[in-house]
Chain A
């Protein structure tokens, strides 16, 4: 079978993010380019946060996933333009909310509680369990939840 860049993107759309496995690397917006240079396939990946430990795991996951399809790939890190939460796809945002993580918003805080959808919210902590999240709480259902910080 002739492998195309589109085919590789389709395969990568099934590769989950190692820390938030409900969304794929493509939905997270970290796959910046797929191309063939001479006979070698290359994938450009944009790191989310500079020190995010998932970055090296993501590169490894991509190599392993494509190796299963018989494709050897070189993974490059690309810094510019810097990754932004604007690159998370609409389907990615919906999956995050369904999973209980409020998706990022330019206003700097979540729009609504991912469980009961109330807008009466308070911030508990500017940071959370991973560099990309903060802790919030719903004042209506009283449940704490994670918010994907806007970057």
Chain B
């Protein structure tokens, strides 16, 4: 079972499950913009980013399924689990909000994602390293765009600035979960399979500070981070609603094909 350190479970299954769930949930969220984005270029960009993330999710979840050894593949993990079995960051399951909320969430995810993937490229696990090397080239392109767009809108008109600042206040409390570690993370780090999440904090927060300064945005003070998605302790109410849309077909017609 993917999630939570369990005796006898390969920690790579948990790592791959967390990576896959986060990519899948964000990929689905931004695909909700398809046909609705404020400009054609943004519509194409969001749909293509969604495609990359869902492709990465398939690679990670197939690996998670192979390592947990219960005979589940990426489709089984994506479509036939309930919300409490997902191990994604809470940040990515939140609703899209306006375009400012979406692109700010994207930049916070991308800025963390590129640095984490850079660490995973050096993983002692060959399959983890291969997926990370593949994904990191796509992630670098996503980060370039989301970062530039946050800066353009933050340092834009009065209206765009106000919306981006409001989006930042809403999203920022979810950033801390990126750097949270548990026993699985400690085991992965000491085995040289994945960097300890906390070690990414300085470089990722530095990249965020640089972006926000250029965007003339100010991160709010946070006394307590919102966490619980990647540990499986708790999700927001929004994930279940999203999954009911995403999983409906496979649940209604198990094993359907066309």
Contacts and interface: CB of A to CB of B under 8 A. Distances in A.
Interface of A: 47, 49-53, 79-84, 124-129, 131, 135, 149, 151
B44 interface: yes
B138 A50 contact: yes
Contacts of B135: 50
Given A50-B52, A129-B44, A151-B137, 4 more contacts: A49-B52, A80-B126, A126-B41, A128-B48
Contact of B59 (A79, A124, A129): A79
A80 B130 contact: yes
B129 A50 contact: no
B138 A126 contact: no
A79 B130 contact: yes
A96 to B, nearest CB: 19
B54 interface: yes
B156 interface: no
Given A82-B134, A126-B145, A50 B58 contact: yes
Contacts of B27: 51
Q: Bin chain B's interface residue count.
A: 20 to 34
B55 A50 contact: yes
A126 B45 contact: yes
7 contacts: A47-B134, A49-B51, A50-B56, A51-B55, A80-B126, A127-B41, A127-B48
A43 B59 CA distance: 19
Nearest to B44: A127
A148 to B, nearest CB: 13
Contacts of A127: 41, 44-45, 47-49
B141 interface: yes
Given A126-B145, A131-B51, A82 B133 contact: yes
Interface in B51-92: 51-56, 58-59
A interface, by DSSP: helix, strand, loop or mixed? Answer: loop
A130 B115 CA distance: 26
Nearest to B60: A50
Contacts of B133: 79-82
Given A79-B59, A131-B51, A149-B141, A50 B45 contact: no
B131 interface: yes
B121 to A, nearest CB: 10
Nearest to B59: A50
A131 B44 contact: no
Contacts of A129: 44
A55 B94 CA distance: 30
Contact of B53 (A51, A84, A151): A51
B45 A125 contact: yes
A84 to B, nearest CB: 8
Nearest to B136: A82
A7 to B, nearest CB: 30
Given A50-B56, A50-B58, A51-B55, A124 B130 contact: no
Contacts of A84: 137
A135 B42 CA distance: 12
* Closest CB pairs A-B (n = 10): A51-B55, A50-B55, A80-B130, A51-B51, A125-B41, A79-B130, A127-B48, A82-B134, A127-B45, A127-B44
Contacts of B40: 125
A135 B41 CA distance: 9
Contacts of B138: 49-50, 151
Contacts of B53: 51
B246 to A, nearest CB: 15
Contacts of A83: 134
Residue picked from B126, B129, B134, most chain A C-beta under 10 Å: B134
